[in-house]
């Protein structure tokens, strides 16, 4: 087995792109009639984040899981230290800013980031943070999933070593495609089962379970995991071919979006069972893009630049502060956007100014709080860096 470097700078840079897509999508939400349809889909940034988690976690942990050197204690400490300090502070600021408004259940579920399991709480205190419940759910499942598919892949790949090159490659990729299809079927089926159980036991129908629970989003993570497996057996070669692979991924992502647009948008497309493949094509296209960036090329160089690394490292802060509640301000980024528009600044320019402003604030938050508190807690908890 060929092993490749664990650090991929351009995948930090791609975080900046994903966070920027989400942010700008929020800022132009009320101007959809004045923008191109493809600009209405800022939510794809979330798909990119989920697929990226699948790719990176498989890339980082597959070997240790198979070798038996994986430490649950170390793993969980790293995950907790990574997300909870900042999200807890942001949540508390929002609660204090609207003191007396939120119930204890709402507050507790937000602090522990399990609020997306409760439809009434999903979008209440800090709307974008609903996706962190899904990330947290994936954190708990990832070691089991990665170990299972890596063990299966190792077994299949070992049996194919004596086969011809064509047979070895074709059967391996058939296995990857089958696993991807199974993940989509599992997502759709498990969502239905979950909705039926909630309806039976609680008398409530969770209409957003497909997009706002780990069940519906599992195939997003699996897409990234499977491309990371391909990178594991067919290590990316640092060459200009990376741009070709990245372009294929981007084209698949754009094609999937365009297909959804043709069907009338996400809500209408969801009624057409064939568009499940278009929705699944978004994280798959993103994952192919990751593999392309992993392989080098001009786009990899650009996203590995200092600017994109800085934006990528502070992307988590940008994601969680954009809808922060402050005294008298129910939504900070949207308030700035509306204020700029009230000055007769074109909404697209206002969105860009809003993004630049909050990206700068996020950078300050990252440097002044997130980075030092993470370093302190890792030292305190004796977590390897």
pLDDT digits (tens, 9 = 90+) for 288-326: 999 999 999 999 999 999 999 999 999 999 999 999 999
H and E: helices and strands count for the chain: 17, 0
Q: Calculate the CA 332 to chain-centre distance.
A: 23
Structure tokens at 310: 């800085």
pLDDT digits (tens, 9 = 90+) for 329-382: 999 999 999 999 999 999 999 999 999 999 999 999 999 999 999 999 999 888
CA 75 distance to own-chain centroid: 19
> What pLDDT score does 70 carry?
95
Return the closest-CA partner of residue 236 out of 75, 2, 26, 36. Answer: 2
**Contact between 107 and 95 (Cβ < 8 Å):** yes
The pLDDT value given to residue 271: 60
pTM of the model: 0.95
Read off φ and ψ for residue 32, nearest 5 degrees.
Answer: -65, -30
80-113: b (≥16 Cβ within 10 Å) or e: ebbbbbbbebbbebbbebeeeebeeebbebbbeb
At 32 the pLDDT is 86
Quick one: pLDDT at residue 4?
A: 44
Is residue 231 situated within a structural domain?
Answer: yes
Instruction: Note whether residue 205 is domain-resident.
Output: yes
DSSP3 helix / strand / coil % (the chain, rounded to 5): 80, 0, 20
Q: Domain tally for the chain?
A: 1
For residue 158, how many other CB atoms are within 10 A of its CB? 10
* Average pLDDT value over all residues in the chain: 92
Residue ranges of the chain with pLDDT lower than 70?
A: 1-5, 239, 268-273, 385
Domain that holds residue 287: 9-380
385 in a structural domain: no
Residue 263: predicted pLDDT: 82
Position 1 in a domain: no
Is 2 within a domain?
no
CA–CA separation, 225 vs 229, rounded Å? Answer: 6
Residue 149, CA distances (Å) to 69, 152, 191, 211 in order = 17, 5, 22, 24
Which helix or strand (DSSP H or E) is residue 13 part of?
helix 9-27
Residue 1 has a pLDDT of 43
């Amino acid at each position: 087995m060929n092993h490749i470097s664990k650090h991929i700078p351009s995948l930090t840079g791609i975080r900046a792109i994903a966070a920027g897509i989400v942010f700008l999508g929020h800022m132009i939400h009320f101007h959809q009639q004045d923008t191109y349809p493809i600009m209405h889909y800022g939510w794809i940034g979330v798909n990119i984040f989920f697929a990226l988690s699948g790719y990176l976690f498989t890339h980082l942990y597959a070997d240790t899981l198979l070798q038996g050197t994986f430490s649950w204690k170390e793993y969980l400490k790293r995950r907790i230290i990574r997300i909870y300090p900042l999200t807890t502070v942001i949540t508390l600021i929002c609660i204090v800013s609207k003191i007396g408004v939120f119930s204890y259940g709402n507050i507790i579920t937000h602090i522990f980031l399990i609020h997306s399991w409760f439809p009434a709480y999903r979008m209440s205190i800090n709307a974008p943070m609903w996706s962190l419940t899904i990330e947290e759910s994936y954190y708990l499942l990832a070691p089991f999933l990665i170990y299972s598919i890596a063990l299966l892949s190792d077994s299949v790949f070992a049996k194919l070593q004596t086969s011809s090159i064509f047979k070895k490659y074709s059967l391996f990729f058939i296995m990857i495609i089958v696993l991807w299809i199974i993940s989509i079927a599992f997502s759709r089926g498990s969502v239905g089962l979950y909705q039926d159980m909630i309806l039976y036991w609680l008398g409530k129908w969770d209409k957003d379970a497909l997009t706002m629970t780990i069940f519906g989003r599992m195939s997003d993570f699996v897409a990234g995991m499977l491309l990371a497996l391909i990178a594991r057996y067919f290590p990316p070669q640092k060459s200009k071919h990376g741009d070709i692979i990245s372009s294929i991924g981007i084209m698949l992502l754009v094609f999937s979006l365009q297909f959804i647009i043709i069907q009338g948008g996400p809500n209408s497309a969801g009624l057409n069972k064939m568009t499940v493949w278009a929705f699944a094509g978004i994280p798959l296209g993103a994952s192919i893009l990751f593999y392309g960036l992993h392989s080098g090329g001009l786009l990899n160089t650009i996203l590995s630049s200092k600017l994109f690394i800085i934006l990528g490292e502070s992307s988590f802060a940008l994601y969680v502060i954009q809808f922060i509640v402050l005294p008298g301000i129910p939504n900070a980024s949207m308030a700035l956007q509306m204020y700029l528009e009230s000055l007769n600044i074109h909404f697209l320019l206002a969105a860009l100014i809003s993004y630049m402003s909050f990206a700068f604030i996020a950078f300050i938050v990252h440097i002044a709080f997130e980075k030092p508190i993470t370093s302190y807690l890792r030292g305190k908890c004796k977590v390897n860096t």
